[in-house]
Amino acid sequence: MTDHPVTGLDEVVHQRVRLGILAIAHEARRVEFGYLRTSLDLTAGNLSKHLSVLEAAGLIEIEKGYEGRRGRTWITLTPTGTTALNDEIGRLKVLIARVETAAGQS
């Protein structure tokens, strides 16, 4: 018997906020901190903690700089982050297919 699809889910990636960060960063290629905070309805402190986890795992890069006189923080997905996101989405697709197949048999 093979492992259930949920056993392969990555705890770092799968957490709701972090999955959202990775998905938005993938779509945008480079995303600003404020946009992430607003899009995911988070406090700055909460978002910072999640970004720290993703950065420590090597899934994102954080770049600080200025746009005019305002300090800005930009987030980009690393190649490792892209792979991790794609792997997670693949596992979720397998899980969804399995649930839908079981539902069709009921």
pLDDT, position 28: 94
At which residue do the structure tokens 């969804």 appear?
A: 96
pLDDT tens, 28-83?
989 999 999 999 999 999 999 999 999 999 999 999 998 888 889 999 999 999 99
pTM of the entire structure?
A: 0.88
pLDDT, position 59: 98
pLDDT tens, 15-41?
999 999 999 999 998 999 999 999 999
Identify which of 6, 19, 10 has the alpha carbon closest to the alpha carbon of residue 99: 6
Q: How many degrees, rounded to 5, is the angle at CA 16 between CA 47 and CA 24?
A: 65
- pLDDT classification of 2: cutoffs 50, 70, 90: low
